Structure 1
Amino acid sequence: MLFHQSLPKPNPSKAPPAFYRLRDVMRITALSRSTVYRRIAEGRFPEPVHLGGRASAWPSAALQAWIDDPEGYRRAMPQP
C-alpha cells in the first residue's frame, strides 16, 4: 500500500513580513535575547515598536538595515 504525504502548499506571497517578533529576530540574527536588548540600550540595534498590549516587534526595514551593516549600525538618536 502506498501512502501519499501532502506537501506544504507554496506561499503565494513572497513578500517578507512587515514585522518580526523577538523569536524570529533571535533566529535571524543569531543573537541571544540579552544581547539584543543590550545592543538596543547601546544604540547598536533597532528598537522594537509596540503593536498593542504587550506585543512588540521589529519593522522589517529596520532589521534589514542592521543586517546590511551590523558593526556600523547606529540608531538615530532623537534631537532635543
Structure 2
Amino acid sequence: MVDLPPPPVFLRMEQMVARLAISRSTIYRLIKEESFPRQIRISHRVAVWIESEVDAWMMSHSELRDLPVKRRSRR
C-alpha cells in the first residue's frame, strides 16, 4: 500500500481573519504586495488558502517580532 501525503487543509476568509487577527482588507493588501500567500479559487464565489502556507507565513513573521516596524504613511 502506498502512503499518500495528507491532503491540504483549506481555510476560508472568515477563518483567516480569526486566525490572524487582521482584517480582510489587510489580507488582500498583503496579497497585492506579494507578501502573503495567494488564495486559490475553487469556484466562482469561493476562495481558500492552504493552511500550511499560512502557518509558514505566520512562523516567518514571528521571527521578525523584535525588528522595528516600518510604518506606512497615511494618505
TM-score range (shorter-chain normalised) is 0.5 to 0.7
Superposed displacement of residue 37, structure 1: 0.4
Residue identity over aligned pairs, in percent, reads 32
Q: After superposition, what is the alpha-carbon deviation per residue over 1:40-64, rounded to whole angstroms, capped at 9, x for unaligned?
A: 0001111110111211110111111
CA distance in 2, matches of 1:62, 1:24: 14
Indicate the SS of the match to 2:22.
coil
Alignment size in residue pairs: 57
Please list every run of at least 4 consecutive aligned residues from structure 1 whose deviation after the TM superposition is greater than 4 angstroms. none
Question: Which one-letter code corresponds to 2:24 in the other structure?
Answer: R
Distance in 1 between residues matched to 2:41 and 2:61, nearest whole Å: 23
Note the residue ranges of structure 1 that are not aligned, 5 or more in a row.
Answer: 1-14, 73-80
Within a 5 Å distance, the mapping from 1:4-23 to structure 2 comes to: 18-23=9-14
Partner-residue secondary structure (3-state), 1:69: helix
* Structure-2-length-normalised TM-score: 0.67
Return the offset for 1:67: 1.1
Superposition RMSD in Å? 2.0
2:39 paired with 1:39: no
In proportion to residue count, which structure has more helix?
A: 2
